Chain A
Amino acid sequence: MAKVSMTVNGKAASGDVEGRTLLSAFLREELGLTGTHVGCDTSQCGACVVHVDGQAVKACTMLALEAEGSEVATIEGQANADGSLNTIQQAFQDHHGLQCGFCTPGMVMSAAALLKDNPKPSEGEIRDYLEGNLCRCTGYHNIVKAIMAASGQDVSSIAAE
């Protein structure tokens, strides 16, 4: 076992982990932050996307010890300080960007990473960026619409489905 320390959602966090402990397991089982979902555990579904030093990564495909000293952001830290949903989260609610909700934490974290680098993405750019986030309710259309709306763009021309 080795000690790992990082900042998670702005707070210092540390714990004892094995070499093989994944970042997703550290977040979920040591810190109790179960909003980071483990869907496939084979690096394909993107439900476990978190930010490490500002970059979207799959927490199931990174060792916890690799995040030593890093700034980690998870879905639990996305809401506004008063507890209200942030712009992206609210847009997902407004535009029905989720059905069962399992993929949603990863979708929101990927969307946040995209909008940080590309504040006004086109529909095509959003779909391209989400290629590593799978939704098995086939909800992509409204997810894309929600991200368009969250970026302040007019979505009235995108048909509801």
Chain B
Amino acid sequence: MLFGKDDKMYEFEFEKPSTVAEAVAALADEDAQALGGGQTLIPTLKQRLAMPSKLVSLTGIDGMKGVSGGDGMLSIGGATTHAEVAEAAADAYPALAALAGQIGDPAVRNRGTIGGSLANNDPAACYPAAALGSGATIMTNRREITADDYFRGLFETALEDGEIITAVRFPVPQKASYQKFLQPASRFALVGVFAAKYAAGVRVAVTGASEEGVFRWNEAEAALDADFTPEALDGLSVDAGSMMADLHGSKAYRAHLVGVMAKRAVAAAA
């Protein structure tokens, strides 16, 4: 039987291990690539933008799935789908659950995983804003990486070859909200702002906007530390020169949206 329609992807081997150790061993091969839910990677492969020799599915590793919490922390397994987070984190961290429930569409949320999203670090993805805005810790098979150290620019992260996100640990804030201005065709964020108020201070993370990927808006954080109200952001703006521009929005438009979405996030924080 020929599968002509699949010729669009280069050939690759497929493995589906059931433990992290097996996955790490399988990824040791040159040009092996980890596969989360595949909602970005499979379309990428169809466009022949990548040519892995082997895909190692992480979705069969039960130890990397699920949401657990306690002592002000919420831990999410790296292979946990957006739909599961939207449901299981709703009580413990409502802003995070709401963010997960707005990614893509229902069918995408049933496959896509938090680990896959963070490993890919698309500059318009939602989860990077939550991780950076929460000061989360990225847990891998080798080490723990703070979100501030993890994101390194467009599609760039601190992950090394063969390193797997096994879990993400979120400190639960006093209140938080994520406000996304939808790019209506892709459902990615044209601009998204995650604002979270912790005892130690406010964190504001912006996705979809900067040419450098997700970033913290330090000036807004300082203003909100003093006064956690939308009005505290009056007069503040990000540098339009560092914003992305495409047919959906200019640099100036995105810079303006950052301020608008940040105010909305503060107003909606609960």
Q: Is A76 positioned at the interface, with any CB of B under 8 Å from its CB?
A: no
Within the assembled complex, what's the spacing in Å between the Cα atoms of A136 and B13?
37
Classify the secondary structure of A's interface with B: mixed
Residue-wise, chain B 172-191 has the 8 Å CB interface mask toward A (1 for contact) of 00000000000001110000
The answer to whether A43 touches B108 (Cβ under 8 A) is: yes
Residue-wise, chain A 40-82 has the 8 Å CB interface mask toward B (1 for contact) of 0111101001000001111001110110100000000000000
The answer to whether A61 touches B43 (Cβ under 8 A) is: yes
| B195 CB, nearest partner CB in chain A, Å | 24
Q: Which residues of B contact A30 (CB under 8 A)?
A: 1, 3
The interface-forming segment of A19-27, A144-152, A153-161 is A19-27
Q: Which residues of B contact A29 (CB under 8 A)?
A: 1-5
Q: Is B104 positioned at the interface, with any CB of A under 8 Å from its CB?
A: yes
Q: Is A15 positioned at the interface, with any CB of B under 8 Å from its CB?
A: yes
A interface, size bucket: 35 or more
**With A42-B43, A132-B106 given, can you name 18 additional A-B contacts, CB distance below 8 Å?**
A18-B3, A18-B11, A19-B11, A19-B13, A20-B11, A20-B45, A21-B6, A25-B5, A25-B6, A29-B2, A29-B4, A41-B46, A43-B42, A43-B108, A62-B38, A65-B16, A110-B107, A133-B105
Residues on A facing B (Cβ under 8 Å): 2, 15-22, 24-26, 29-30, 38, 41-44, 46, 49, 55-58, 61-63, 65-66, 68, 110, 113-114, 129, 131-133
Within the assembled complex, what's the spacing in Å between the Cα atoms of A156 and B10?
52
Contact of B187 among A21, A56, A131 (CB under 8 A): A131
Q: Which residues of A contact B54 (CB under 8 A)?
A: 19
The 7 closest A-B pairs by CB, nearest first: A132-B105, A19-B14, A55-B110, A20-B9, A131-B105, A56-B107, A25-B3
Q: Which residues of B contact A25 (CB under 8 A)?
A: 3, 5-6
Q: Is B137 positioned at the interface, with any CB of A under 8 Å from its CB?
A: no
Within the assembled complex, what's the spacing in Å between the Cα atoms of A25 and B83?
25
The answer to whether B11 touches A58 (Cβ under 8 A) is: no
The answer to whether A129 touches B106 (Cβ under 8 A) is: yes
Within the assembled complex, what's the spacing in Å between the Cα atoms of A21 and B46?
11
The answer to whether A20 touches B6 (Cβ under 8 A) is: yes
The answer to whether B3 touches A63 (Cβ under 8 A) is: no
Q: Is B146 positioned at the interface, with any CB of A under 8 Å from its CB?
A: no
**Nearest CB to that of B13 among chain A residues?**
A19
Q: Which residues of B contact A19 (CB under 8 A)?
A: 11-14, 54-55
The answer to whether A16 touches B1 (Cβ under 8 A) is: yes
Q: Is B57 positioned at the interface, with any CB of A under 8 Å from its CB?
A: yes
